[in-house]
Amino acid sequence: MHIKYKMISVAFCLLSILNLKAEEISVYFLSMPNKILPSLDIVRKKELLDAQKDSTHATIKNLFNDTLVLQQMTDNYLSIQSGIAQTEIALLTMTNQSRIICVIQTFCAPVCDSHIHFYTTQWKLLNTTDFFIPEKTAWFFKENPDETGKILIQSLLSDISLTTYHLNPDDLSLTQTYNTPQYLDKETALQIKPYQKETPRIFNWVRNQYQ
């Protein structure tokens, strides 16, 4: 009986997909492979989208019984928060008017770090560097530092690199923020701060890539 009910629920969700406009992010969210967000099956994805119709911040429980919030959704963008993890999904238009999907997953434990991937609309993984090349760590520091700054910066360049990426829901521009200094002890972080640039790196989607 339980299996039969589940099959009916999945069939209902698949029918719901067909009723959505093909251009909307919701279509691709529903068809997204489980390996990208293992905590959400198609039934809960549909539940989340239904909840979003009645609330700005739709909230449900995922498969692991954790609270999951749909923070924002437009036709081309969707953002989900669950505990220390955030997932952003965006539809990007190519010059030939075809679409690709950008997925950013950010984890904060406690310093935030992101991973970015690109897919076809059939969720075939694409080569990230064809569409986006992250700024190197050195960019996030001011030019011509003094000797103390050179030593501090060099030590960071050889350390782990913690970087976050975020998409702007309005224009789908991409912001890259360098977070490694947040990982440092308070004294070292204060020493390095004067040498850091005050603004993050912002990329715009131009033709077929972020520039």
pLDDT for 5 beyond 70:
no
What is the mean predicted confidence (pLDDT) over 171-195?
93
Q: Helix, strand or coil for residue 185? A: coil
Higher pLDDT, 152 or 132: 132
Average pLDDT on 152-181 reads 92
pLDDT of residue 59: 86
Residue type, 107: F
Find where tokens 């698949």 sit. Answer: 14
User: 61 with 173: CB under 8 angstroms?
Assistant: no
3-state SS of the chain: helix, strand, coil percent to 5? 30, 30, 35
Query: pLDDT digits over 77-101, tens only?
Result: 999 999 899 999 999 999 999 999 9
Q: What is the pLDDT of residue 64?
A: 81
Backbone φ and ψ of 86, nearest 5°: -130, 140
Write out the DSSP string of 123-144: --B--GGGT--PPPGGGGB-SS
> How sure is the predictor about 62, in pLDDT bands with cuts at 50, 70 and 90?
confident
Contact 128, 102 (CB under 8 A): no
Q: How far apart are CA 197 and CA 150, in angstroms?
A: 14
pLDDT digits (tens, 9 = 90+) for 37-55: 998 889 989 988 888 877 6
Amino acid at 13: C
Q: Quick one: angle between helices 2-18 and 42-52, nearest 10?
A: 50
